[in-house]
């Protein structure tokens, strides 16, 4: 008689586990499920089976113990499967969440600018990344942005293109404009409020072609509500004085303004004045001599 009641108890307990397995499998998340509880139940069944074997009670009750244990083990497997799905979901969420970084996206010379070091030297209150590409042109910029920048979902992007597109501009400036606008559209697609700065190109010897290209870039910036930065200002700007000013502000405890995002125009001037003063951009001008 005791075996009948023990079996009834096991059946009552065991009947709930298949339902729990189905529910957990359909939920596709381990949230709300306790791993410790499942392991405790498994330990209990193992102890019960061990007791039966030690007492040589090898009857139909033992079969029910094994059946319940098997179902709970399935529940354990579903739990780890759901944990894996949760981690994958968290990874996807993190990849789509906007971070606080500013990314430089330009061509060959931009690739040489050590933006991370500059951000650290100037104690900028955000992360800077350089995702520029050697030989980048407007023709492949949209694809390159999708492959190298989009997943990072930056708060702001600094675009510096045109150096590889002078022939295209001279041949068909309307196509130049369309490609630039298409790139800006791709940058804004993920976040319409993303800050974007467009950097002009050096105009060596007052080249009319470069000058006209820069006028188009400025017009595009105004039409798309982007920040326009004249790169020629890099020759005149003194980054060291700004660094000293920022250090002084920290020293005296006047750090409240530094909690505000620095305007992209200022960030761009820091980057390109550094590049100019360290010879990264000099040979751009020398090419026209």
Mean pLDDT for the chain overall:
81
The SS3 call for residue 230 is: coil
Q: Do 178 and 52 belong to one domain?
A: no
Structure tokens at 139: 């023709």
pLDDT at site 258: 44
**Does 197 have pLDDT greater than 50?**
yes
Residue 264: pLDDT over 80: yes
* Number of structural domains the chain divides into: 2
130 and 184 assigned to the same domain: yes
Q: Could you tell me the two tokens for 272?
A: 């390109």
The rounded Cα 275 to chain-centroid distance in angstroms is 26
How high is the pLDDT of residue 257?
A: 43
Q: What is the pLDDT of residue 15?
A: 66
Check whether residue 249 and residue 277 sit in a common domain. Answer: yes
**End of a domain among 37, 68, 96?**
96
**For the segment 209-243, what is each residue's pLDDT rounded down to a tens digit?**
899 999 999 999 999 999 999 988 877 766 665 55
Let me know whether 36 and 80 are in one domain: yes
Please identify which residue in the block is written with the tokens 């430089």. Answer: 104
Residues with Cβ within 8 Å of residue 260, at least 6 apart in sequence: none
Cβ neighbours, 10 Å, residue 10: 18
Q: Looking at per-residue confidence, does 203 or 244 come out higher?
A: 203
268 contacts 115 by C-beta, under 8 angstroms: no
CATH number at residue 86: 1.20.1280.290
Q: Which positions ≥6 away from 177 have C-beta within 8 Å?
A: 216, 220
Kindly state whether residues 80 and 186 are assigned to the same domain.
no
Q: Is the pLDDT of residue 95 over 60?
A: no
Boundary-marking domain end, from 66, 96, 126 = 96
Q: What is the average pLDDT across 64-81?
A: 86
Distance set, CA 57 to CA 12, 60, 61 (Å): 21, 9, 8
Domain boundary among 96, 125, 150: 96
Torsion, Cα of 137, 138, 142, 144 (10° steps): 0
pLDDT at 179: 96
Does residue 188 sit in the same domain as residue 243?
A: yes
Per-residue confidence (pLDDT) for residue 77, from 0 to 100: 92
pLDDT score, position 4: 65
Tokens of 144: 């390159």
Q: Residue range 111-129: average pLDDT?
A: 86
212 and 195 in a common domain: yes
Residue-wise pLDDT for 19-37, tens only, equals 888 888 888 888 888 889 8
Alpha carbon of residue 23 to chain centroid: 34
228 lies in the same domain as 108: yes
Give the H or E element holding residue 216: helix 208-223
Between 249 and 144, the more confident residue is 144
Both tokens assigned to 163: 């150096």
Cα 166 to Cα 173: distance, rounded to the nearest angstrom:
9
pLDDT at 185 over 70: yes
The answer on 225 and 132 residing in a single domain is: yes
Give residue 131's pLDDT.
Answer: 95
Q: Do 109 and 90 belong together in one domain?
A: no
Q: Say which CATH number the domain at 230 has.
A: 3.40.50.1110
Same domain, 249 and 275: yes
Judgement on whether residues 176 and 222 belong to the same structural domain of the protein: yes
Cα distance between residue 106 and residue 144, in whole Å? 10
Higher pLDDT, 253 or 152: 152
Q: Which domain holds residue 216?
A: 102-286
């Amino acid at each position: 008689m005791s075996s009948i009641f023990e079996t009834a108890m096991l059946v009552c307990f065991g009947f709930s586990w298949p339902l729990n397995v189905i529910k957990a499998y359909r939920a596709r998340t381990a949230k709300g499920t306790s791993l410790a509880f499942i392991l405790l139940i498994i330990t209990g069944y193992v102890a019960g089976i061990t007791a039966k074997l030690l007492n040589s009670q090898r009857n139909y009750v033992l079969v029910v113990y094994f059946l319940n244990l098997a179902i709970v083990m399935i529940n354990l497997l579903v739990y780890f499967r759901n944990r894996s799905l949760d981690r994958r979901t968290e990874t996807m969420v993190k990849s789509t969440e906007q971070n606080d970084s500013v990314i430089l996206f330009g061509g060959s010379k931009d690739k040489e600018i050590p933006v991370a070091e500059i951000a650290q030297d100037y104690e900028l209150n955000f992360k800077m990344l350089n995702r520029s590409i050697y030989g980048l042109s407007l023709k492949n910029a949209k694809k390159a942005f999708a492959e190298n920048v989009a997943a990072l979902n930056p708060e702001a992007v600094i675009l510096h293109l045109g150096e590889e597109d002078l022939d295209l501009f001279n041949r068909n400036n309307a196509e130049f404009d369309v490609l630039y606008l298409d790139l800006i559209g791709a940058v804004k697609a993920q976040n319409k409020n993303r800050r974007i700065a467009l950097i002009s190109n050096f105009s060596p010897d007052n080249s009319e072609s470069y000058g006209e290209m820069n006028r188009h870039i400025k017009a595009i910036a105004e039409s798309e509500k982007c920040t326009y930065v004249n790169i020629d200002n890099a020759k005149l700007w003194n980054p060291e004085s700004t660094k000293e000013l920022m250090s002084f502000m920290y020293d005296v405890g006047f750090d409240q303004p530094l909690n505000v995002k620095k305007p992209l125009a200022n960030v761009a001037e820091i980057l390109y004045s550094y590049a100019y003063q360290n010879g990264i951009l000099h040979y751009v001008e020398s090419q026209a001599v």
